[in-house]
């Protein structure tokens, strides 16, 4: 997560807040952030399929493959490009709000109160843990050495 959150911030999807109550929040409404936006921020816009162009190395061809064998786009590559295009289109049409609504629609009613309690407890633990760490640091500081006469 430590590597992903700055990428999402750089892409303009998150805003970082510093301080005791710091953290990250969405830079715009969840309905305006597509899953494809997140994928691009995390993975970049590289192609998912890397064609190895094996047609030219087919064992059936003794030396150089015939021109018909390597003409045009490889059928496997073309299929993978169409599949990737369909996937990206679906990711572009699905927002973070859509994902949240999907969870909301299928989760039992107590889930959200349990989740909120868990988050509140974690926040409280972080706050009190930091206070304890500060106090421990203050009490374990070495005493200044006194000069002996």
Instruction: Identify the pLDDT of residue 33.
Output: 97
For 78-105, the pLDDT digits (tens) are: 899 999 999 999 999 999 999 999 999 9
Three-class DSSP labels, 52-116: CCHHHHCCCCCCCCCHHHHCCCCHHHHHHHHHHHHHHHHHHHCEHHHHHHHHHHHCCCHHHHHHH
Residues 6 or more apart in contact with residue 52 via CB below 8 angstroms:
none
User: Which domains are delineated in the chain?
Assistant: 4-132 (1.10.10)
Degrees to nearest 5, angle at CA 17 with 13 and 19: 160
Q: What is the pTM of this model?
A: 0.66
Question: With contact defined as beta carbons under 8 Å apart, do 8 and 42 qualify?
Answer: yes
Angle between helices 35-43 and 96-106 (to 10 degrees): 120
pLDDT tens digits for range 37-55: 999 999 998 888 888 777 7
Please state, in angstroms and rounded to a whole number, the distance separating the CA atoms of residues 85 and 45: 12
| Measured torsion, CA atoms of residues 34, 37, 38, 41, in degrees rounded to the nearest 10 | -170
Q: Is the pLDDT of residue 1 over 60?
A: yes
**Closest to 14 measured CA to CA, from 145, 22, 58:** 22
Q: How far apart, in Å, are the Cα atoms of 34 and each of 23, 25, 75?
A: 21, 16, 30
């Amino acid at each position: 997560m430590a590597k992903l959150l700055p990428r999402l911030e750089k892409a303009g999807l998150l805003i970082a807040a510093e301080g005791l109550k710091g953290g990250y929040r969405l830079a715009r409404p969840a309905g305006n952030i597509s899953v494809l936006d997140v994928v691009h921020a995390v993975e970049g816009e590289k192609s998912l399929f890397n064609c190895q162009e094996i047609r030219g190395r087919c064992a059936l061809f003794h030396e150089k493959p015939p021109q018909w064998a390597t003409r045009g786009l490889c059928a496997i590559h073309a299929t993978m490009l169409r599949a990737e295009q369909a996937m990206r289109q679906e990711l572009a049409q699905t927002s973070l709000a859509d994902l949240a609504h999907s969870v909301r629609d299928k989760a039992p009613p107590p889930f959200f109160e349990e989740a909120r309690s868990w988050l509140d407890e974690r926040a409280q633990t972080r706050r009190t843990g930091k206070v304890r760490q500060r106090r421990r640091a203050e009490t374990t500081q070495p005493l200044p050495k006194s000069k002996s006469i």
